[in-house]
Amino acid sequence: MMQNNKTQSSKLLKLILFALLGTISMLLMFLKFPLPFLPSYLTIDFSDVPALLAALLFSPVAGVIVELVKNLLHLIIGGGEPVGVAANFLAGILFVVPVSVLYHKFKGVKSLVSGLVTGTVVMAIGMGILNYFLILPAYSLFMGMEEMAIPTVKWATVIGGILPFNAIKGVIVGVLFVPVFAKLRPWLEKKRLTLN
Amino acid sequence: MNNMLIIGQYVPGSSFIHRLDPRTKITIIFFFVFFIFFANSLLSYGILTLFSVGSALATRIKVSYIIKGLTPVWFLILFTFLLHLLVTKDGEVLFRVFTYPIYTGAIIQGTAISLRFFLLILVTSLLTLTTSPIEITDAIENLLHPLKKIKFPVHELALMMSISLRFIPTLLQETEKISKAQASRGVDFKTGPIKERIQAVVPLLVPLFISAFKRAEELAMAMEARGYQGGEGRTKLRELKVGPLDWVALLCFILIIVALFVTRK
């Protein structure tokens, strides 16, 4: 009975924590800025940081949940159109999951850095592939621009826009995340006693 | 500060669109987005435009506010139109811009596709304009209910969404407070090269995360003290109810769709 109560309460605590991290994540989406040399619809923001934190503290699934909350919120308050929101969700998963899987396997600062590099590469290549086969065709259907679905146009968009954009985004988020995580860790270590 | 707290588009009101069950609105919009791709004649586009603009006017929200909400897409619509002018080469040459020929087919197709895009955005934004986020969450929980059979945690997701929505203003205020506190210590968020702006976010995020952890603990404890024990047997403050108004709206929408298929080429 005691045991049962305890798991119930830590489950609720995590649920609430993921919800709050998702909210912070959504708010961070509004602090976005375009990159000078890329198309203006590709904007960089720090909204993957909270999901990354959840994924490293708990599990890759936790990161996915925070990404889900963030994107659903964004959709519900009317901040984005469905295709863009779905693309952001997929990019978030492709970034957060590899980082946290590597981190949980080898724990430590080195594995975090190599995880962030792997995550960036997986996200950039994965989003390139998904854009080519899924997202750009969806946009061209949604906006009635058959021109956008022509293979050469898609190639140009992927090579000239999507790949560099996601690579830069991964690097920027990683550069921000390392000091944040380093500063939070001592505090969280103390906390962990009450969390688990 | 106050206008920072307004995030999202919802405009409270009492028009009949506001009073529709959120599930009705979501269903109608879902099928509208699907069926709009079937329009291909002048009359069928006319019917859909009448339906969309009519619904927008029926919300009794100021037209200028609705248009302002669409500003980010005006550029895209214009871009789509111009692209079609340049690329499409159907029909006769209508006139020439310098020496570049503009075809009649290009004008027709460009207009049709920009119109379709405009209607899509207008109708989907009507949902978030007339339905409070909490109502949308309730409706999603209700519509996803069948997924419980495959062990999808529908209740937990809805709970997370309601908590998130409740805490948007609180966390926004807190972000504001922390950034002011850090600015008074000399952190510059707004100017400087990208690298410095990234570094400026660190002292903003760390306290924000710590307070989220503390808040989560307090809230979990408070909920348990009040006997929260998951979704089983939980009752609701707001019950969703399908009324006669919803049936009228659905019937009207079905008639519109029938009319669309009749007037199709």
Asked if A139 and A83 touch (Cβ cutoff 8 Å), the reply is yes
Partners of A19 on chain B (C-beta within 8 Å) are 159-161, 163-164, 167
Q: Do A24 and B76 touch (CB under 8 A)?
A: no
Q: Do A27 and B168 touch (CB under 8 A)?
A: yes
Sign of CA dihedral B86, B90, B94, B99: positive
| Contacts of the segment B81-84: beta carbons below 8 A, 24+ positions apart | B81/B110, B81/B111, B81/B113, B81/B114, B82/B110, B83/A145, B83/A147, B83/B110, B84/B109, B84/B110, B84/B113, B84/B114
Query: What is the average pLDDT score of chain A?
Result: 81
Among B214, B144, B169, residue whose Cα is nearest residue A16: B214
Q: What percent of chain A has pLDDT over 90?
A: 21
Nearest to B80 among A16, A78, A145 (CB): A145
What integer pLDDT is reported at residue B3 of this predicted model?
41
Q: Torsion over CA of B185, B187, B189 and B195, rounded to 10 degrees?
A: -170
The predicted-structure confidence for A77-92, as pLDDT tens digits, reads as follows: 766 677 888 888 999 9
Q: Is it the case that residue B170 has pLDDT exceeding 70? A: yes
Return the structure tokens found at B228: 């929260």
Residue B7 CB contacts under 8 Å (≥ 6 apart), including other chains: A27, A30, A77, A79, B168, B172
Sign of CA dihedral A69, A34, A145, B45: positive
Q: B102 phi and psi, to 5 degrees?
A: -110, 125
Longest dimension (CA), chain B: 77
Chain A nearest-CA distance from B169, in A, is 10
* In CATH, A2-30+44-195 is 1.10.1760.20: yes
Partners of B160 on chain A (C-beta within 8 Å) are 15-16, 18-19, 22, 65, 69
Asked if B8 and A79 touch (Cβ cutoff 8 Å), the reply is yes
Return the structure tokens found at A90: 């997929």
- Type of residue at A14: K
Rounded Cα distance, B47 and B262, in Å: 11
Helix (H, G, I), strand (E, B) or coil at A108: coil
Q: How confident is the model at residue B5 (pLDDT cuts 50, 70, 90)?
A: very low
Nearest to B212 among A21, A46, A65 (CB): A21
Q: Nearest-CA residue of chain B relative to A51?
A: B209
The predicted-structure confidence for B13-65, as pLDDT tens digits, reads as follows: 888 898 899 999 999 988 998 888 888 888 999 999 999 999 999 888 888 88
Partners of B141 on chain A (C-beta within 8 Å) are none
Partners of B83 on chain A (C-beta within 8 Å) are 145, 147
Q: Do A180 and B165 touch (CB under 8 A)?
A: no
The rounded Cα B251 to chain-centroid distance in angstroms is 24
Rounded Cα distance, B160 and B204, in Å: 24
Partners of A143 on chain B (C-beta within 8 Å) are 76, 80, 113, 117
Chain B nearest-CA distance from A12, in A, is 6
Chain A nearest-CA distance from B180, in A, is 16
Q: What is the DSSP letter of A41?
A: T
Helix (H, G, I), strand (E, B) or coil at B163: helix
Q: What is the mean pLDDT of residues A128-155?
A: 74
**Environment class of residue A126 by beta-carbon count within 10 Å: exposed (0-12), middle (13-18) or buried (19+)?**
middle
Nearest to A184 among B113, B129, B209 (CB): B209
What integer pLDDT is reported at residue A20 of this predicted model?
94
What integer pLDDT is reported at residue A195 of this predicted model?
56
The predicted-structure confidence for B123-164, as pLDDT tens digits, reads as follows: 888 888 888 888 888 888 888 888 888 888 888 888 898 888
What integer pLDDT is reported at residue B51 of this predicted model?
92
How many CB atoms neighbour CB B46 within 10 A?
14
Among B72, B53, B51, B48, residue whose Cα is nearest residue B63: B53
Q: What is the mean pLDDT of residues A96-114?
A: 84
The predicted-structure confidence for A7-38, as pLDDT tens digits, reads as follows: 666 888 899 999 999 999 988 888 777 666 66
Residue B97 CB contacts under 8 Å (≥ 6 apart), including other chains: none
Alpha helices in chain B (DSSP H): 2-5, 16-19, 22-35, 42-58, 63-69, 71-87, 104-130, 133-143, 154-184, 194-225, 244-263
Q: What is the pTM of this model?
A: 0.81
Q: A109 phi and psi, to 5 degrees?
A: -65, -40
Q: What is the mean pLDDT of residues A165-188?
A: 87
Chain A nearest-CA distance from B230, in A, is 8
Rounded Cα distance, B144 and B153, in Å: 10
Q: How confident is the model at residue A4 (pLDDT cuts 50, 70, 90)?
A: low
Q: How confident is the model at residue A163 (pLDDT cuts 50, 70, 90)?
A: confident
Nearest to A27 among B117, B121, B175 (CB): B175
What integer pLDDT is reported at residue A144 of this predicted model?
61
Residue with the bigger pLDDT between B11 and B2: it is B11
Rounded Cα distance, B66 and B11, in Å: 10
The predicted-structure confidence for B56-102, as pLDDT tens digits, reads as follows: 998 888 888 888 877 767 877 887 788 777 777 777 777 777 777 78
Q: What is the ipTM of this complex?
A: 0.84
Q: What is the mean pLDDT of residues B197-210?
A: 86
Chain A nearest-CA distance from B113, in A, is 6
Residue with the bigger pLDDT between B6 and A38: it is A38
Return the structure tokens found at B195: 């690298």
Which residues of chain A from 133 to 192 reach within 8 Å of chain B, CB to CB? 141-145, 147, 172, 175-176, 179-180, 183-184, 187-188, 191
Q: Do B9 and A144 touch (CB under 8 A)?
A: no
What integer pLDDT is reported at residue A148 of this predicted model?
63
Sign of CA dihedral A130, A134, A135, A140: positive
What integer pLDDT is reported at residue A2 of this predicted model?
45
How many CB atoms neighbour CB A59 within 10 A?
16
Nearest to A175 among B9, B198, B212 (CB): B198
Residue pointed to by tokens 């995590």: A14
Q: Nearest-CA residue of chain B relative to A23?
A: B164
Q: Do B171 and A23 touch (CB under 8 A)?
A: yes
Q: Do A19 and B220 touch (CB under 8 A)?
A: no
What is the CB-side half-sphere exposure of residue B176 using CA atoms within 13 A? Answer: 11
What integer pLDDT is reported at residue B1 of this predicted model?
35
Chain A nearest-CA distance from B255, in A, is 24
Q: Do A78 and B210 touch (CB under 8 A)?
A: no
